[in-house]
Structure formats: C-alpha cells, structure tokens
Amino acid sequence: MSGKTLQLIQDDPWLTPYGNAIEGRYNFVVEKEKEITQNGAQSLSDFSSGYLYFGLHRRQNGWFFCEWAPNATAIYLIGTFNNWEKNENYRLIKTENGNWEILLPEVSIHHLDLYKLLVEWEGGYGERIPAWCRRVVQDEQTKIFSAQVWEPEKTYTFGNENFNPQTSPLLIYECHIGMASQDEKTGTYEEFRKNILPRIAGDGYNAIQIMAIQEHPYYGSFGYHVSSFFAASSRFGTPDELKRLIDDAHGMGIAVIMDIVHSHAVKNEAEGLGCFDGSGYQYFHTGARREHSIWDSLCFDYGKNEVLHFLLSNCKFWLEEYHFDGFRFDGVTSMLYYSHGSGEDFTNYGDYYNGRQDGDAIAYLTLANKLIHEVNPKAVTIAEEVSGMPGLATRVENGGYGFDYRMAMNIPDFWIKTLKEKKDEDWHPSAIWWETTNRRKEEKTISYAESHDQALVGDKTIVFWLMDAEMYWHMQVGDPNFRVERGMALHKMIRLVTATTINGGYLNFMGNEFGHPEWIDFPREGNGWSYKYARRQWDLVDNPNLKYHFLGDFDREMLRLIRSVKDFQATSIQKIGDNDRDQILAYMRNDLVFVFNFNPVQSFTGYGFLVPEGKYKVALNTDDKRFGGNGLNDNTMEHFTQPDKLYENEKKGWLKLYIPARSAIVLKKNRNT
C-alpha cells in the first residue's frame, strides 16, 4: 500500500488495530490478480473467458470440444450420435495443463443431441456431464440427466441492448420461476414472462432476483445444490426462452439479478463435479475441508487458479450470454470463514480478523466483483452475508470486497423474533428504529422484512405468524375478525417501516406482498411429490372479495410513494419521535413525515412532532379503507404546523396529529409553504 492507509480504515478508525490484516488481505488480492493476468498482460475479463473455449462449440470446420480433467487417463464423447458407445473416433486428445480436446466433423453432432463424457482414470471410470456444458436435460422415464446440444438454426437476438438498471432505489422482487405458476406444476420461463412480469412491473418493482437458474438435480433444493454451473435449468424451458424473459423484463424497465451459487456445489458425481476426473479434489478441497457438513455439499478450493478461472468465467458467462444485470451471491458467510460461520459469535471487530478467515475465498469474491463491474459497469452485486464483515459493500480500491449492496439480514430475523417472542404491548419503537437503520454508513444495504427463507417448511411467513389458521376462514371482505384485522394492520406497518428506512434497496419475496398463505414445500417423498405448496395462488390477490388485494394494493402504493422521491434511498433520514411507552415512532425523509403507532389499544389525539413549518397532506395511510383499514383519519385534511417561539429561527413548528392504534401515516410537505 506504499504507506497510504486504505479508505476503509480511514472511514472507520475502530478498524485501525486491524490495519495490517486488512491491508494484507488487500495486497493478497492485488498480487493474485497480477498472477492470473500475467502482470497485466491480459485483463481480468480476458482471463475469465473460459466458456468461449471449454465445452462444446460449433466452428466453421466442425465441432470443437474441450474439458479440463488433469487426473483422467482417457476421455471419450458418448451420446445419441454414436449410440452411447465408447468409440475411438470420439476419443479426446490430452494437451497441456490437464486439458483434453477433440475436433469433429460438422455432420457428427446435431442440435438436440444428447451427450456425456466417458472419463477414465487410474483404477476406474465413470460417465460425466461436461463441466462447461450449457444445457442439461432429464429423461422423464429414467430420470437420468444428460448434456444436450443447443445450436438452433436461429438463436435469440436481444432487442434491448442498452438497458440501464434503475437503482435509485433498487426495488427487488425475489422470485422462483418454477413455483410462480398458479397450477400445481413446475412453471416455465414463458409463463413467467407472460403472466408474472406484467404484475411485477405494475406493482412498481424495478428488479427481479431469480432463484434456481443454474441447473440442479433435486428440484426441492431451491436451486442451492448446483450441478451444472453454465446451464440454465431446463425444467423451466429453453435457453432462448430465458433470454426472451430477460429481454422483455428490460423492455419493462426491470433489471434481472441472478441468485448465483459459488459457495458450494452438489456432491453428485454422475450429474455434478463431485468426482469429475476420479480424483475427488479437482475443483474442491481435500480432507476435512472438502465437505460442508451442514449443507451436505462440496466446498470449492478457491486457492486453485483453475477454480478461479472456472468461477470467474461463470460470472462473465451469465452477464454476456444471457444479459443478466448482476448477481446476488449466496452463502457469502460460509465462504469467508473456515468454520463457514458456524459457532462464531461476531460480537466485536476482532472476530473478523482472528486468522480464521479464508483468504483465498475472500480473494475470489473481491476479484469476482471487480470482474463483474469490468464487464458491465452498470451491473449490480449483492452479498448474502450474516456476520457483518466490514468492507463487504465497499469499493475494492478503498480496501473493500467490491459488492454494491449487502443483505440486511438482521431485519427479517428481528421481525420473526418479535412476532414469536413479544406481546404487542412490548413492541418498542426504539428497537425497531435500531434494527432498520443499524448499518455501516459507507455500505449500502438491501432491507427486507422477509425473503424466501421465512416461507420454507419449518418456519412461517410474517402473515402466518400474525394470523395463523384464522386466515383460512376470515379473509372475505366484510367478515370481521380480530386476529385477521390485527394481522393486516401490522403486516402493512412492518413493510412500511422496513421499506422507508432503506439506504440502498428493498426486497420482497414473490407473493408475500399480498400475504400469500401457507409455506413453501417442494415435491418430495414426504408429501407424496405434491406441488400444492410449491406454487403461488395469484387468484387470491385478484379476487376483489378477498382481503388479500388490500395488502397487494398497499404494497403497490408504498412503492409508488418511494419512487416518487428522486434517489429516495440517498435522502437523509432523521428521527423526530421515539416513545417506547406510547409505542410511537416518527422520522422524516426529504419532504415526507412517517408516523407509526404500534400501540395495540391506544389512539392518540394531538400527538406533536417538531418538523419544518408549513402545510402537510396525507400521502399514504395504512388505516385507509381501500387498504382494508378502518378509515379513522380524513385523508383529505390539510395539516398545518403550529408555531413555537423556541424554534422560530429554525423555521420549525409542531405538527399535531390524530394517530389511531396500530396504524401508520405518511404526510408530505407542500414545498410552497
């Protein structure tokens, strides 16, 4: 670092005692980049272009195939084109660095042919799906997976080439293609494009975060046990159909973020990389570090340049080939620590710099972020990380890891803990304020009340914690029920306080905006392979006679309000009221005043807040009848501040409000007053 302290440390003096560790990690990344780019002889993007060479490619003079398998003694292409038989005409030639290659006549292979590799090694052999293949399909009868040639005569051409993601703020709709269907089946890219994208755009979200894109053999893994990293899951449709989905999303102004899994890989050998060349450690660690005992998966060895080449090329591939606008990196905590974060306390800075961090994994993540923004400067990267590692969403040149955002994972944990353990009268606004605004000032976060994690079997969504079985019987409009009314009121308030305290973006999981009932449970032996709970019941929110639409309508208006303020996430946020006894919380952003009354029984009349003097009008009201509320406030009323001589010089006055129990109101100042 030539004697200059990194900006990360300058911004947070409490990191000074750990300066050597932070700068050592930074310098390690610098040296690793020099190593893999041959001291700058090539760019990081050049190094990460392996997908253009490895795998199966159609050339002018035929078909070229290349695979890296250093432990193999012989490799053959087998498939429908040679009756799946070992044939010397399809034997690969070993070149340098453990690479194997073959050039075949054009007539040898055709579009939609199925194929695999027959890999031999000292003492054994096995059929393998190529590591770099771009399409994998499963036979409906045998359930066997095979690679498939995808070279149609006419490939998809993108129409929205110069799409620019809108990130001010980033409003993310987390989704899963397969379970987006209303019917009890696996949904498709085409169905999602036609039926769900218009909903998302109409609701005001400007980004989707798609789960389970990379091919995975077990549907119920939610896409987190990946087998083929370059193949878009064929259970949802074809590569061209995914490209059309992304292109249409861009046409609607929606960025498409991929939930990418580079933290581990499925253990399967026939479908995945588990024992690709017979060694068991080609892509993964040896010994005790090879297996992730909690996730029952395999851990990449990020210290190998070949693994860096594979994973970095994977990042570039999805950006270039499919026009994804960025990534949400899954399981970052597991990558950062030798312990995968299990059993760690993370109660002080020393826990982040105690020698138990995986420097190779950290280098990979940093280089991945640098690469992604080199390939597409407008790309978005998000870290799913629970430990709170400083600098995760700080620029690489400042000593950070280079992510644009980190997930504010403390917020959903707080809400679930509150719902499980606290009575309504014990909800403290000071705690709510702390959890929703507690973050490093130099790092942008994605706030969310709940994601897919809270919807899985074994847990409950927020709406289920609030209403439980009552929502099965009392969601008809005009059917009063205390538990349902309480649940709807708090559902709106929880989302409003979470979404309007953001400093980066906001995320919602598909269907949770309207209180989708029940959990998520993918087809499995234990439920008779049923799709009943692996779908979304859109007819609930579409039915005007059911209360679900009140929650959906509120979510739409909440996002409209947020988007009405330029760079909402960057506006200063100022607390103007915080009373745990009354359970009142109030804060300001720009010209908006947000007031929450979490008190379950007491409404307040003439409750005062000191704000800039002027006239205020209601911009949003959770108690509005059109959102299923009681309509106790007159939304057309204008509210004028009352002067106070003590604050005349500051041009502030008292805003006196009526605040019904379990409600929130947003007021907007008239700029002309």
Q: How far apart (Å, rounded) are the C-alpha atoms in residues 149 and 562?
A: 46
Q: How far apart (Å, rounded) are the C-alpha atoms in residues 632 and 624?
A: 8
Residue 539 designated active-site: no
Strands 405-407 and 445-447, how do they pair?
parallel
**What is the secondary structure of 179-204 as a DSSP string?**
GG-SSSS---HHHIIIIIHHHHHHHT
User: Which pairs count as long-range contacts for 135-139, CB under 8 Å and 24+ apart, including other chains?
Assistant: 135/231, 135/232, 135/234, 135/239, 136/215, 136/227, 136/228, 136/231, 136/234, 136/271, 137/234, 138/217, 138/234, 138/235
Residue 52, phi then psi, degrees to nearest 5? -80, -15
Rounded alpha-carbon distances, angstroms, from residue 285 to 25, 67, 298: 21, 20, 8
Residue 384 designated active-site: yes
**Residue keyed to tokens 């990196």:** 329
Provide the edge-to-edge strand list for the sheet that holds 642-643. 604-612, 652-659, 642-643
User: Which pairs count as long-range contacts for 627-635, CB under 8 Å and 24+ apart, including other chains?
Assistant: 627/492, 627/550, 627/551, 627/553, 627/554, 627/557, 628/485, 628/488, 628/547, 628/550, 628/551, 628/554, 629/489, 629/663, 630/660, 632/603, 632/658, 632/660, 632/663, 633/658, 633/660, 633/663, 633/665
The token pair at 52 is 């253009």
For residue 605, give the amino acid letter: T
**Residue keyed to tokens 């009352």:** 642
Q: How far apart (Å, rounded) are the C-alpha atoms in residues 110 and 97?
A: 29
The token pair at 78 is 């087998």
User: Per the residue annotation, which of 271, 330, 435, 557 is the catalytic one?
Assistant: 330
User: Per the residue annotation, which of 247, 358, 384, 624 is the catalytic one?
Assistant: 384
For residue 614, give the amino acid letter: G
Q: CA torsion, points 261, 411, 252, 383, in degrees to nearest 10? A: -30
Within 10 angstroms of residue 575's Cβ, the number of other Cβ atoms is 15
Q: How far apart (Å, rounded) are the C-alpha atoms in residues 502 and 332?
A: 22
The token pair at 201 is 């755009």
Helix (H) / strand (E) containing 232: strand 228-232
Rounded alpha-carbon distances, angstroms, from residue 138 to 13, 109, 134: 55, 19, 14
The neighbouring-strand residues paired with 124 are: 121
Query: Residue 292: helix, strand or coil by DSSP?
Result: strand
Q: How far apart (Å, rounded) are the C-alpha atoms in residues 335 and 212?
A: 19
For residue 97, give the amino acid letter: N
Asked if 330 contacts 260 with a C-beta cutoff of 8 angstroms, the reply is yes
Cβ neighbourhood burial of 376 (10 Å; 0-12, 13-18, 19+): middle
Residue 442, phi then psi, degrees to nearest 5? -90, 0
Within 10 angstroms of residue 230's Cβ, the number of other Cβ atoms is 23
Rounded alpha-carbon distances, angstroms, from residue 572 to 337, 437, 500, 651: 34, 12, 11, 18
Q: How far apart (Å, rounded) are the C-alpha atoms in residues 118 and 85?
A: 9
Asked if 498 contacts 448 with a C-beta cutoff of 8 angstroms, the reply is yes
Active site residues per annotation: 330, 384
